[in-house]
Amino acid sequence: MKAGRIKQWAAGLTALALPVLAFAQAALPEPSRPHRWQLNMNRGVTQLSNNAYDAHMLALWICVGIGVLVFGAMGYAMFKFRKSRGAVADVDFTHSTKLEALWTVIPIVLLVAMAFPATSKLINMYDVRRSEMTIKVTGYQWMWKYDYMGQGVSMTSRLKRESDALRQSGKVPTIEANPNYLLEVDNELVVPVNTKIRFVVTADDVIHAWWVPSLGWKQDAIPGLVNEAWAKVDRPGIYRGQCAELCGKDHGFMPIVVRAVPKAEFQQWLAAHQSTPAVAPASAAPAAPVSPAAPAADAQPTAAAVPNSDAPTAPVAG
């Protein structure tokens, strides 16, 4: 075999190994944060995100299998039946009923094999029964409002002032100095781990979408409509996301930060915020929207709760 041909084969084999490399990345220690040259999606920190990952990997490996078989057969045929070896084309072969049946049945079997687990995972995704708590998420231009239903805690969450200042300063942010550029908020959404949390998602002006990739789903926030989703976070950590529906000029500047903490710590946090008149964020930005603890379980956002909005009206019943 000539050296050039060996090189071609080596390149082909490397291309085939790429999905294996992608798979190997799944074992990295920080699953929630993307990193340079990442090839595969993150596993996330909920059962739903793991389901999505598994469905994705199943489809990927089936594709890899098909790719190896098809390109292998093509390569073999081109090599074995090459002109220099005196191969002559078979001009009489027009069709084969057996082959046609085979290449119809095999894809059907594969599709059904993928559809069964995917459907059960999809049904599970919308099953919000037996939730232990409910958080109402309301999208505004351009921030989020969170109501811990029945707990008497409400707050708004918007882009951290430092991030906003850097954005408007004209300076070029670096990954070293600003690893979470435009992904920081004044009030983080604090949630307990290992707790089934039902999220009801709506909006008060235009359509937004609440998306934290590590939770494994994205839900549209639509005025006049209440969408549902749920999450049970496996481990403590900070999980970042963004609005995922083009909602206006500051669409890119309404990040989401979820801080998952142990249950006991969450109870402390909740108690602290129920008793004090205002949510005390980590950064006490004076103009940060800080709402008083809502007195009633189904507190509606008021002008006081959402200070800078253009008089948001009460969202739909949630």
Could you tell me which residues come within 8 angstroms of residue 85 by beta carbon, excluding any fewer than 6 positions away? Answer: none
Please name which of 311, 315, 314, 104 lies closest in space to residue 223, comparing C-alpha atoms. Answer: 315
d(CA 207, CA 210): 10
Strands 208-212 and 217-221: antiparallel
Closest to Cu ion by CB, 223 vs 236, is: 223
Q: Letter for the amino acid at 45?
A: V
Closest to Cu ion by CB, 182 vs 243, is: 243
Minimum distance between the CB of residue 238 and Cu ion, rounded to whole angstroms?
21
Please name which of 161, 146, 156 lies closest in space to residue 199, comparing C-alpha atoms. Answer: 146
Minimum distance between the CB of residue 243 and Cu ion, rounded to whole angstroms?
3
Minimum distance between the CB of residue 139 and Cu ion, rounded to whole angstroms?
5
Minimum distance between the CB of residue 279 and Cu ion, rounded to whole angstroms?
21
Binding interface with Cu ion (CB under 5 A): 208, 243, 247
Could you tell me which residues come within 8 angstroms of residue 55 by beta carbon, excluding any fewer than 6 positions away? Answer: 114, 117, 118, 121
Minimum distance between the CB of residue 246 and Cu ion, rounded to whole angstroms?
8
Please name which of 315, 142, 109 lies closest in space to residue 245, comparing C-alpha atoms. Answer: 142
Closest to Cu ion by CB, 173 vs 252, is: 252
